[in-house]
Amino acid sequence: MRSRGIAVRAAGLVLLAACAAGQLGCASGPSSWTLPSFAQVFGPAAPLPNPLPVPAGDFEVVWSKTVAEVNKHFPIASENRLARTIRTDSEMTGTLIEPWTADAVTFHDRLEATLQTIRKFAVVHVDPAPAGGYLIKVEVNKELEDLAKPISQPAGRAAFYNDFPVNRTREVVGTIPTPLGWIWIGRDTNLEQCILAGIRDALLL
C-alpha cells in the first residue's frame, strides 16, 4: 500500500510538471505551434532567383567570390572586369564513371553525358542593380556533339580502299550546309542553382 501511494504521488508530480511546462511553453512561444508537414521537411527548396540580388558592398569582394565559386565547377577562360563578364572553357560533362567532376549535379545529367557526348560552359554577369548592389546572373549552356555518323562505324565506306584518291573540285549550288560540330541543346538550370547557392553562401547572404 505504501508503494502504491508513492507511485500515485510520483504520477501526480509528473502531471503537475507537464502542466507547468505546457503553461511555460504557451507563455514563451506561439500557442498555435504544430509539427512541420511532410512536404516542408522532404520537399525541394525554393529555387534562387537568377539573377541573384546582392546587397551593396565592395565590388572586388563580390567579383572574387563569384570567380572562386565558378572555378569550382569550370576552368575560367576569361575575366572581363570592364564588361563584368566571366566566361569558362567548354568542358566535357562528367559521366557516371567520373563522380569527382563538379559540372553535373544530378544523376540524369551524368547518365545523359554517359550515353552521348555533351559539353558545358558558363557565362556569368555581375551587373549593378538599379536599386543598389549587384545582380549576379549565371548561365550554364549545354552542347551536343554533331557528327555525320558515329566515329567507330565503318558503314558507308567503299569495299576497296583507294590509296590514291582522285581530287575533284565541286561547285556548291544553293545554300551552304551548316558545318558539323556542336549543337546548343539548352541550359543546365540544376547546375546554375548549385553555383548560385555557392555564391550566396560565400557572400553570407
Omega of the bond leading into 51 within 30 degrees of 0 (cis): yes
Q: Output the pTM of the full model.
A: 0.65
Most confident of 25-34, 38-47, 182-191: 182-191
| Domain-located, residue 128 | yes
CATH classification of the domain holding 123: 3.30.530.50
Question: What integer pLDDT is reported at residue 124 of this predicted model?
Answer: 96
Give the pLDDT score at 165: 59
What is the pLDDT averaged over residues 59-72? 93
pLDDT at 31: 38
CA 79 to centroid of chain Cα atoms: 21
Cβ–Cβ under 8 Å, residues 140 and 122 = yes
132 within domain boundaries: yes
**What is residue 158's predicted lDDT score, i.e. its pLDDT?**
53
Residue 161 predicted with pLDDT over 80? no
24 part of a folded domain: no
94 inside domain: yes
Q: How confident is the model at residue 15 (pLDDT cuts 50, 70, 90)?
A: very low
Region 34-52: mean pLDDT is 65
pLDDT over 50 (residue 12)? yes
Q: Confirm whether 28 is domain-assigned.
A: no
* 29 occurs within a structural domain: no
Domains identified in the chain, total number: 1
The domain of 184 spans: 49-151+180-202
Mean pLDDT of the chain: 76
The answer to whether position 22 is within a domain reads no
Residue 56 binned pLDDT confidence (cut-offs 50, 70, 90)? confident
Residue 130, in any domain of the structure: yes
